[in-house]
Amino acid sequence: MSARQLASRRGLHSSGLLAAAAASIAGLILGGSSLEFEFPGGLPAGNALAAVALCAMAGAAVVLTRRKSWTRAVSWCALAAALAWLPASILLAGNLHLVFGNGRGDAWIALTLATAALVVGTLVLALTATAWRFLKRKRPA
């Protein structure tokens, strides 16, 4: 596969992941009562959308970064944290509705903020590195 084909495929995959993240975030902002819809087992749609948004942003960061780079390693860590966020939240709450008791809500807020900061920071890093590579390329005259 040529470098041009790889770059095209990388752009397509990252665009799809970023579109999924944007749609999930828009759903969270505009969703209202539809976020209370429960999937079989009792998981509210809002919780699932938040997990999809985190995973899609982290996945886009992985796709955008170069292989064998430190930014790729950080992106994989962010993706692992995003994938673990919902299961860890459910374990902290002890239920699928993420209703917290016994002071566990503070721990969940810290976990959520740390995960979101890592994911968003990694995505910004990946987008910046991609833009830098694009601008740094020598253009034919």
User: In whole angstroms, what separates CA 130 from the centre of its chain?
Assistant: 17
* Confidence class for position 6, pLDDT limits 50, 70, 90: low
On the CB side of 41, CA atoms within 13 Å amount to 8
The answer, yes or no, to whether residue 1 has pLDDT greater than 80, is no
Residue bearing the bigger pLDDT, 2 or 12: 12
Q: How many CB atoms lie within 10 A of CB 111?
A: 17
Return the axis-axis angle of helices 70-93 and 45-64, rounded to nearest 10°.
Answer: 170
Residue bearing the bigger pLDDT, 76 or 19: 76
Q: What per-residue confidence (pLDDT) applies to 138?
A: 64
Quickly tell me which residue has 């503070």 as its tokens.
Answer: 106
Tell me: the pLDDT tens digits for 23-66? 888 888 987 887 888 888 888 888 999 999 999 999 999 999 98
Q: What does the mean pLDDT of the chain come to?
A: 87
Query: pTM, whole model, 2 decimals?
Result: 0.85
The answer, yes or no, to whether residue 139 has pLDDT greater than 70, is no
Residue bearing the bigger pLDDT, 121 or 137: 121
Q: What per-residue confidence (pLDDT) applies to 78?
A: 97
* Confidence class for position 2, pLDDT limits 50, 70, 90: low
